[in-house]
Structure 1
């Protein structure tokens, strides 16, 4: 992934799970490692660090933007890679938290559906952010602006389909919804 991103002039910085077969065994060993010690591994494109914050526990972080084994001047001698990761890691977590508030996701064992639901949630949130940036005073006094936006977005997406429907709805409830929209 790191090499493919670098081909597109993008860098990456993130944690790595310890069960990956590509990881060198020396970086995973915890026996006899002192507290706050770091082990670095370098390739042509990436840097991998194993940091020991607690006894018998290590953190693995990989980067394609860091090229050296720089450590902080703090008491715990934490690698600069981990400090940079900690300062920027909240974006995905915050997006997951925000999209979970109003989500279209349903339980499914089919992974394409799960991916589709996530795309819809993230796209709807991005549309909301752009809408609020352009129309800053839109429903500014209301605390549930995002819900109002999502309701209007859903209606705007469904209304043309309902209006172009060739045959009438089968149930009285569906007919009432169509009549209400038209």
Structure 2
């Protein structure tokens, strides 16, 4: 494709129509790209069955116009992106659907009731979320903020706590582990998966809840560091002046991650992700290149028109009729 043609496509690329844009964006700013994005999310949910452990993470990047945040859930073992909910910052905390615990519950909703373990970060971990997941046969292991409601006041400022010490608190089916990982920091883990907490025998004496949490995190920003769009086109998704286009580039990144996971698991082939992305780009453009190089189809033959012969009709002779006896 010529560079001028590619530049023209990037300039006029839109994901909605101007007629319906204004009434939709008044209530939802993300509506300008929601139709394409929702179709992508439906395919992500339908095409993969995750394992026992899934994680809820957050991805955030800055465009020229907006700060875009994505709350997503991924399979821990394969790194397959299962579900994504976008946000355009700033957003209203008064909206119940935007609250972190409700967002996390909506993300894992298709995978409830199967005895899975959900790992969450400190922004969405809460005791109400843990109780809702337990009611749906799902465990929660998540970090708790130092100022979170789940942390008792006596545990928020433990300056006298010994290094590498562990305090375990119990509430119903939830276990709260407070671990002194360094002289200035406590690590707080809320878990409904561990009724008891085993302590490691090494020098750091790390509790098993902290070990499980660290091993079941998926760094989405690190996953998308090798960006699909940048590899193929040389463009950066954060450098676009139009944030819907940056969102579309991020969609391509996540789609390439999922395609790579499906390819390696279905074919059992070993290939680097970069090589897979390049091969995928060439295959996707091959059909378009063949269509452009093919000769134009021949024009249909011109059919001869058959002229109808007019029949001569007889008219009755009248004294007032000045016309001839027959007319054609």
| TM-score, normalised via structure 1 length | 0.64
The yes-or-no answer on 1:81 pairing with 2:209 is yes
Q: CA-to-partner distance for each residue in 1:14-42, whole Å, 9 max, x for gaps?
A: 32222323421122122221122222222
- Separation (CA, whole Å) in 1 of partners of 2:199 and 2:176: 13
Q: Is the 8 A contact 2:228 2:277 kept in 1?
A: no
Question: 2: CA distance between counterparts of 1:113 and 1:34?
Answer: 51
2:226 to 101, 124, 127: 101
1:40-79 to 2 correspondence within 5 Å? 40-79=168-207
Alignment RMSD: 4.0
Q: How far off its partner does 1:66 sit?
A: 0.8
Change in CA separation of 1:78 and 1:132 when aligned onto 2, cut-off 3 Å: closer
Q: 1:15 to 1:149 in 2, by over 3 A?
A: same
Match of 2:261 in 1: 129
Is 1:12 the counterpart of 2:137? The answer is: no
1:162 is matched with: none
When Rg is computed on C-alpha atoms for both structures, the one with the higher figure is: 2
Question: How far is 1:114 from its partner?
Answer: 7.9
- The alpha-carbon deviation at position 49 of structure 1 amounts to 1.1
Q: Deviations over 1:17-73 (max 9, x none)?
A: 223234211221222211222222222232111111222321111212011243222
In structure 2, distance between residues paired with 1:47 and 1:123: 37
Q: Decide which of 97, 122, 145 is 2:276's aligned counterpart.
A: 145
Tell me how far apart the structure 1 counterparts of residues 256 and 163 of structure 2 sit (CA, whole Å).
45
Contact 1:28 1:50 in 2 (8 A): no
CA deviations over 1:108-131 (Å, ceiling 9, x no partner): 9x9999887655533331122212
Q: Tell me which residue corresponds to 1:37.
A: 165
SS in 2 for 1:148: helix
Q: Answer yes or no: is the 8 Å Cα contact 1:40–1:47 preserved in 2.
A: yes
Q: Tell me the TM-score normalized by structure 2.
A: 0.39
Structure 2 residue runs of 5 or longer lacking an equivalent are 1-128, 230-235, 297-328
Structure with greater helix percent: 1
Contact 1:128 1:149 survives alignment (8 Å)? no
SS for the counterpart of 1:122 is: helix
